[in-house]
Amino acid sequence: MIEEGLLTSALRDAADVFDVSEGAVERILEVARNAEDRAPSRAVQFARHPHRGRTLLAAVAVVAALGGIALPLMNKGTAPLHAFGGLPPLTGRATSSHGAPKFDASTSPNSTQSSASGNEGLAVTGTGFAPNAAAGTVGPRIESSGSITLRVKGTGVETSFARLSALAAKDGGSVSSSQARFANRSTGHFAYGTIVLRVPQGRFGALVTQVQRVGHATSLTTSSNDVTSQYVDLRARISAQEASRRQYLAIMSRAGSISAVLAVQRQLDTIQSQIEQLQGQLNVLDNQTTYGLLSVHVTTAASVPLVVRHRSGLAKAWHDAVAGFVAGFEWLVRLSGPLVFAVLLLGALLLAAWAVRRALRHRRT
Amino acid sequence: MLDISTKKRGQVGGPVDLSDLEQWLTLRYPQSVRTAYLIVGNRPDAEDAVQEAYLRAWRFRDTLDDASSFSPWLYRILVNACNSKLRSEIPHRDRRHSADQLESVASSDDPTSRFALSRDVMNALSALPTHLRVVVVLRYYADLSEREIAAAIGRQPGTVKSRLHEARRRLAEHPAIRSHAAESTTSGEAVQ
């Protein structure tokens, strides 16, 4: 049986001597403050206003039912599920200017993603992400990436690549990679290609806007991710490891035997390896948050041939009939989802209202 | 004894009152981190667990009715946070950061000897099952009584007693402790 006093002193030797991370208390208080600020207000008390609560429930039920049916139908053909709420909503702030949808990348608080497709002009405005962390203090670290598909005329892939490269260079960036495929090797022109541009975070939004002017933007996806917490965590771990290394060096200077020196040296080697590993991760994160990557897919109109088949009158009529049948069936299937949801929602709300009413009646009696 | 007279939540919409949490952290944070460190085996996870525990404690401070049971209550939350780390996160990576296992040994008559002993005890401790490690740390490091430990881990005092006995037996049988005992026998140190 191990002696209790020895156990106590050994545990204290192991744990008591290191200093806890500086600023940890403030960090916890800050987290608590933010969490409390985000907590929903507890001021709403339905029980004190039963009639108002029932009215509100009924109003919500009607609005949800009507909205559930109307919204998918209104957005027929253009990603109806987004509007219906079946998928997570876009978290970036969508604004409109001159009839063209815009995505303000600078308003993304954490991990945001935005995508758009169609023939309208697409614009991303970025007033610039926060600058990189200065030494000592860590500002917001945000990694951004995006993808745009451009359609250009004729043999414009080479020209577009040149213009895109120039745009990146003008914004202080560079071309990270590019690849293209020949339409016909004899002509020497490319049918389509992809170029990946790398620009400083602060210029990412502006670059996206400029890139869309190079051709006809048919789709756009951008995303930004706040990795500040990971960045801070990595830095804290490196600091802790460096503190440990200093302490081991102090121990080594007091070591009286070769075996003790070797034991401490082993620990030092392990710490050094971990510091290098963490530093590598920090460098990767630093690189990702310093530059944004924009992947531009450029296609020519000729690379997507439009095949027009001329049919006889009877064949065309048959084809139209089949298409009409399929379209009608699709419409029915599309409608069934919102209807089922609306029915379920109404049922749930009615059930809740019934339960509230029953509880109130029970209380009165 | 901590003053938890202001533990009830403030008015809705008013400024956030963090005085309780600040007081807890000021008085107990370093001790909590070190306790968690002995349980989970490395400092980053210990600090994570402590942060989670304090935030949880502060969030549910209304559930504490008896101010005298504050310490076991907080330790219970801390132990749960450590167990959660050990169960869900740490198994997916290396649990023991050997570099973290020992720091310096200050003001010692024989630093290298204490260093070696402390390292051996930590190695033996990390080999214990979590439920035994927790009671050892709470008893011999956090200095809780068996009754307080029982409250902190939600078991009977008798269970704590038997676990402590079992833990000490296993620690003594661990090869690192046995080899240290063998060495110290020749130099006159006491490891029974």
Contact B137 A11 (CB under 8 A): yes
Option in A28, A236, A251 nearest B104 (CB): A251
Dist CA A103 CA A222 (whole Å): 9
Contact B102 A267 (CB under 8 A): yes
pLDDT given at position A122: 40
Confidence of residue A56 (pLDDT cuts 50, 70, 90): low
**A117 beta partners:** A219
**How far A242 CA sits from the closest chain B CA (Å)?**
11
For A59-187, strand residue ranges (E) read 93-97, 100-104, 112-117, 123-125, 142-152, 174-184
Contact B192 A3 (CB under 8 A): yes
Neighbours of B6 (CB within 10 A): 12
Neighbours of B43 (CB within 10 A): 27
pLDDT given at position B115: 67
A8-30 per-position pLDDT tens digit: 888 888 787 666 776 788 888 88
pLDDT given at position A47: 41
Q: Which residues of B touch A253 (CB under 8 A)?
A: none
Whether residue A199 is predicted with pLDDT greater than 60 in this model: the reply is yes
Option in A17, A27, A244 nearest B100 (CB): A244
pLDDT given at position B3: 46
**How far B172 CA sits from the closest chain A CA (Å)?**
5
Interface subset of A 265-294, CB within 8 angstroms of B: 267, 270-271, 274
The arrangement of strands across the sheet holding A291-300 comes to A112-117, A216-226, A142-152, A291-300, A189-200, A174-184
pTM, two decimal places: 0.40
A320-347 per-position pLDDT tens digit: 899 999 999 999 998 999 999 999 999 9
pLDDT given at position B47: 87
A60 against B59, higher pLDDT: B59
Q: How far is CA A71 from the centre of its chain?
A: 25
Q: Which residues of B touch A233 (CB under 8 A)?
A: 44
**In whole numbers, what is the pLDDT of chain B averaged over residues?**
75
CB contact, 8 Å: A32 with chain B?
yes
pLDDT given at position A345: 93
Burial of B180 (0-12, 13-18, 19+ CB in 10 A): buried
End-to-end Cα, chain A, rounded Å: 67
pLDDT given at position B160: 92
B130-148 per-position pLDDT tens digit: 899 999 999 999 888 898 8
Q: Where are the alpha helices (DSSP H) in chain B?
A: 19-40, 43-59, 70-84, 98-101, 111-127, 130-136, 146-153, 157-173, 175-187
**How far B157 CA sits from the closest chain A CA (Å)?**
18
A222 against B159, higher pLDDT: B159
Pairing of strands A123-125, A100-104: parallel
Q: Which residues of A touch B166 (CB under 8 A)?
A: none
Average pLDDT score over residue span A108-129: 42
Q: Do A251 and A187 form a contact (C-beta atoms < 8 A)? A: no
Contact B18 A8 (CB under 8 A): no
A70-99 per-position pLDDT tens digit: 665 555 444 333 333 333 333 333 333 333
- Which residues have CB under 8 Å from A107's CB, separation 6+? A92, A93
Q: How far is CA A288 from CA A107, A341, B137, in A?
A: 19, 42, 42
Q: Which residues of A touch B178 (CB under 8 A)?
A: none
B40-84 per-position pLDDT tens digit: 888 888 888 899 898 888 888 877 767 667 888 889 899 998 888
pLDDT given at position A57: 66
Q: Do B67 and B1 form a contact (C-beta atoms < 8 A)? A: yes
Dist CA B32 CA B15 (whole Å): 28
Region of residue A299 (left: phi > 0; alpha: psi -120 to 50; beta: else): beta
Chain A: residue whose CA lies nearest to B143:
A8
A141-189 per-position pLDDT tens digit: 888 888 898 888 776 788 888 889 888 888 888 888 888 877 666 666 7
- Which residues have CB under 8 Å from A124's CB, separation 6+? A102, A103, A104, A105, A146, A205, A208, A209, A212, A220, A222
Q: Work out how many CB contacts closer than 8 A connect A with B.
A: 154
A9 against A309, higher pLDDT: A9
Highest mean pLDDT among A53-67, A311-325, A330-344, B176-190: A330-344
Q: Best of B9, B21, B25, B100 to disrupt the A interface by mutation (most A CBs within 10 Å)?
A: B100
Flag whether the ipTM exceeds 0.90: no
Dihedral over Cα of A259, B137, B92, B49: its sign: negative
Option in A6, A250, A256 nearest B104 (CB): A250
Dist CA A196 CA A175 (whole Å): 6
Chain A: residue whose CA lies nearest to B50:
A28
Whether residue A192 is predicted with pLDDT greater than 50 in this model: the reply is yes
pLDDT given at position A135: 39
Chain A: residue whose CA lies nearest to B101:
A14
Q: Best of A1, A3, A13 to disrupt the B interface by mutation (most B CBs within 10 Å)?
A: A13
What is the phi/psi pair of residue A40, to 5°?
Answer: -65, 150
**How far B97 CA sits from the closest chain A CA (Å)?**
9
List the Cα angle B70/B73/B77 in 5-degree steps.
135
Interface subset of A 155-194, CB within 8 angstroms of B: none
Q: What is the DSSP string of A230-247?
A: HHHHHHHHHHHHHHHHHH
Q: Is A138 helix (H, G, I), strand (E, B) or coil?
A: coil
The arrangement of strands across the sheet holding A100-104 comes to A93-97, A100-104, A123-125
Please name the helix (run of DSSP H) or strand (run of DSSP E) that holds residue A30, with its range, or none: helix A24-38
